[in-house]
């Protein structure tokens, strides 16, 4: 939402908004000339407002939305606004159960480095790009598509079927797994959601292209109804774009139609090699010079809360290195922990994991319990929620997950709060350990708080 606010503001709109609590994000918006309040009541809606854009997580009966409806104002969701921006430009959407922000950031970094001046909205801060959003050129400045409407790149979130409002010319589907089962109910529903997304891509003769994972994305079902040009990527030699990854050197080898690129990834893990490969392919499709794409991929240093190194704390027993990650789905957790264990070789790997949403935790409880095998200890603070009902919150808590982890043979303990979690780390961690903090909520404060505590 903050990225969208900046893009609209830069295009001349008068933008204001509200959030539940002040944060560095709201402070940065204020510095950019966008008024942000914490007034979540109907009175917070300014009289001069003529359009309300709400996050997908906001219920329809929210006081601001109710007041807007009573005034006859147009109310749309974030994805609808993004779809309108894409229709004005050359849209590129990146979808998938996980990896969207990282792939989107990598792709945008390559496009910027190649001089294609994209507009973009990414769900995380990217230091190399000056943040998570940018207003680019009105027309593509160089390359084989020079003169076409400017690039508009964004990640496409499947929650509440939001990505069905996207209007991309090019798109990628990185993976398709069970998630948001409060919306889709089962895997078949998730697959249908991605199938409907793929059908929004224009026909091949109109320039529509879809890049989809060769494995792990149910590509046959998902692509059945699309008339876009479809190409696959993955570790299989049968993929149109074949990716090889060397764990020891972090080297990525990408080979596809008319292209062969090789670079060393700075973000660890096979999953990030796949993300990088998809990003490079999308950049090449947009007309980026292959030499510049190669340079960009090898220079990409990462984004906030995606396998981000926080720092090292020196204890009497030795140093403890601390990493932070947004991962909140079982597959993300498993891949990230394995990648960090392989690259860091710690004495022990201790993971702090804050579950995101009671419904997700309950639906995927067994999967979560099996996803921490690379960890020697797991600390689970209270579940973070923004949209669950009270009844959903009563069905599962952090102790439920801890019990299931212990049943799987994982050393796990529950914490009452994030503050309690930070205080427990002093007695848990020893020199040579690796601390990995994971989750989509405010758990990101744990790593810095512990590193800088006395």
Token pair, residue 345, equals 């070789």
The share of the chain scoring above pLDDT 90, in percent, equals 84
Which pLDDT value is given to residue 264?
Answer: 97
Token pair, residue 120, equals 């973009």
Which pLDDT value is given to residue 177?
Answer: 94
Report residue 181's pLDDT band, with 50, 70 and 90 as the boundaries: confident
Cβ-in-10-Å burial (0-12, 13-18, 19+) of 166 comes to buried
Answer yes or no: is pLDDT of 150 > 90: yes
Answer yes or no: is pLDDT of 200 > 80: yes
Which pLDDT value is given to residue 3?
Answer: 87
Round to whole Å and give the CA distance between 302 and 262. 18
- At 398-424, the pLDDT tens digits run 999 999 999 999 999 999 999 999 999
Catalogue all structural domains in the chain, each as residue range(s) with its CATH number: 2-72 (3.40.50.720), 80-299 (3.40.1190.10), 308-451 (3.90.190.20)
Which pLDDT value is given to residue 44?
Answer: 87
User: pTM of the prediction?
Assistant: 0.86
Q: Which carries the bigger pLDDT value, residue 214 or residue 11?
A: 214
Round to whole Å and give the CA distance between 279 and 267. 13
- At 319-361, the pLDDT tens digits run 999 999 999 989 999 999 999 999 999 999 999 999 999 999 9
Which pLDDT value is given to residue 294?
Answer: 98
Is the distance from CB of 241 to CB of 275 less than 8 angstroms? Answer: no
Report residue 11's pLDDT band, with 50, 70 and 90 as the boundaries: confident
Report residue 69's pLDDT band, with 50, 70 and 90 as the boundaries: very high
Report residue 395's pLDDT band, with 50, 70 and 90 as the boundaries: confident
Report residue 77's pLDDT band, with 50, 70 and 90 as the boundaries: very high
Report the 3 state secondary structure along the chain. Answer: CHHHHHHHHHCCCCCEEECCCCCHHHHHHHHCCCEEECCCCHHHCCCCCCEEEECCCCCCCCHHHHHHHHCCCEEEEHHHHHHHHHHHCEEEEEECCCCHHHHHHHHHHHHHHCCCCCEEEEEEEEHHHCEEEECCCCECCCCCCCCCECEEEEEECCHHHHHHHCCCCEEEECCCCCCCHHHHCCHHHHHHHHHHHHCCCCCHHHCCEEEEECCCCCHHHHCCCCCCEEEEEECCCCCCEEEEEECCCCEEEEEECCEEEEEECCCCCHHHHHHHHHHHHHHHHCCCCHHHHHHHHHHCCCECCECEEEEEEEECCEEEEEEEECCCCHHHHHHHHHHHHHHHCCCCEEEEECCECHHHHHHCHHHHHCCCCCCCEEEECCCECCCCCHHHHHHCCHHHHHHHHHHCCCCEEECCCHHHHHHHHHHHCCCCCEEEEECCCHHHHHHHHHHCCC
Terminal CA-CA length for the chain: 36
Answer yes or no: is pLDDT of 436 > 90: yes
Answer yes or no: is pLDDT of 391 > 80: no
- At 229-281, the pLDDT tens digits run 999 999 999 999 999 999 999 999 999 999 999 999 999 999 999 999 999 99
- At 13-64, the pLDDT tens digits run 999 999 988 888 899 999 999 999 999 899 889 999 999 999 987 888 999 9
Which pLDDT value is given to residue 127?
Answer: 94
Report residue 114's pLDDT band, with 50, 70 and 90 as the boundaries: very high
Report residue 118's pLDDT band, with 50, 70 and 90 as the boundaries: very high
Q: List Cα–Cα distances, 95 to 104, 287, 415, in angstroms.
A: 9, 21, 34
Which pLDDT value is given to residue 60?
Answer: 86
Q: At a CB cut-off of 8 Å and minimum separation 6, what does 412 contact?
A: 372, 377, 378, 379, 380, 401, 402, 405, 406
Round to whole Å and give the CA distance between 242 and 142. 28
Token pair, residue 33, equals 């000339």
């Amino acid at each position: 939402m903050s990225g969208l606010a900046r893009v609209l503001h830069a295009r001349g709109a008068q933008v204001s908004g509200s959030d539940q609590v002040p944060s560095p994000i709201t402070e940065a918006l204020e510095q950019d000339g966008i008024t942000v309040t914490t007034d979540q009541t109907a009175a917070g809606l300014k009289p001069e407002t003529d359009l309300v854009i709400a996050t997908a997580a906001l219920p329809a009966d929210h006081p601001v939305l109710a007041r807007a409806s009573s005034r006859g104002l147009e109310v749309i969701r974030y994805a609808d606004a993004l779809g309108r921006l894409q229709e004005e430009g050359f849209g590129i959407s990146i979808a998938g159960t996980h990896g969207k922000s990282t792939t989107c950031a990598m792709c945008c970094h390559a496009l910027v480095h190649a001089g294609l001046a994209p507009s973009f909205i990414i769900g995380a801060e990217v230091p190399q790009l000056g943040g998570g959003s940018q207003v680019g050129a009105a027309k593509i400045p160089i390359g084989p598509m020079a003169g076409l409407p400017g690039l508009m790149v964004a990640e496409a979130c499947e929650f509440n079927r939001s990505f069905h409002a996207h209007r991309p010319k090019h798109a990628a589907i990185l993976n398709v797994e069970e998630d948001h089962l409060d919306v889709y109910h089962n895997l078949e529903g998730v697959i249908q959601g991605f199938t409907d997304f793929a059908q929004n891509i224009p026909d091949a003769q109109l320039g529509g292209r879809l890049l989809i994972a060769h494995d792990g994305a149910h590509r046959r079902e998902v692509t059945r109804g699309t008339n876009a040009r479809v190409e696959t990527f993955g570790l299989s030699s049968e993929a149109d774009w074949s990716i090889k990854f060397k764990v020891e050197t972090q080297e990525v080898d990408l080979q596809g139609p008319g292209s062969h690129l090789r670079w060393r990834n700075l973000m660890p893990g096979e999953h990030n090699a796949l993300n990088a490969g998809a990003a490079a392919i999308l950049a090449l499709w947009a007309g980026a010079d292959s030499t510049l794409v190669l340079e960009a991929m090898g220079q990409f240093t990462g984004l906030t809360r995606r396998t981000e190194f926080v720092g090292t704390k020196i204890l009497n027993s030795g140093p403890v290195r601390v990493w932070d990650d947004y991962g909140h789905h079982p597959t993300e957790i498993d891949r990230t922990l394995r990648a960090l264990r392989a690259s860091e070789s710690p004495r022990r790997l201790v993971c702090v994991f804050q579950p995101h949403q009671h419904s997700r935790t309950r639906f995927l409880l067994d999967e979560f319990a099996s996803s921490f095998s690379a960890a020697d200890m797991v600390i689970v603070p209270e579940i973070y929620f923004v949209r669950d009902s009270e009844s959903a919150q009563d069905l599962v808590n952090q102790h439920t997950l801890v019990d299931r982890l212990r049943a799987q043979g994982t050393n796990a303990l529950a914490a009452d709060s994030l503050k309690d979690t930070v205080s427990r780390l002093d007695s848990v961690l020893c020199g040579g350990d690796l601390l990995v903090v994971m989750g989509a909520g405010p758990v990101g404060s744990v790593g810095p708080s512990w590193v800088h505590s006395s």
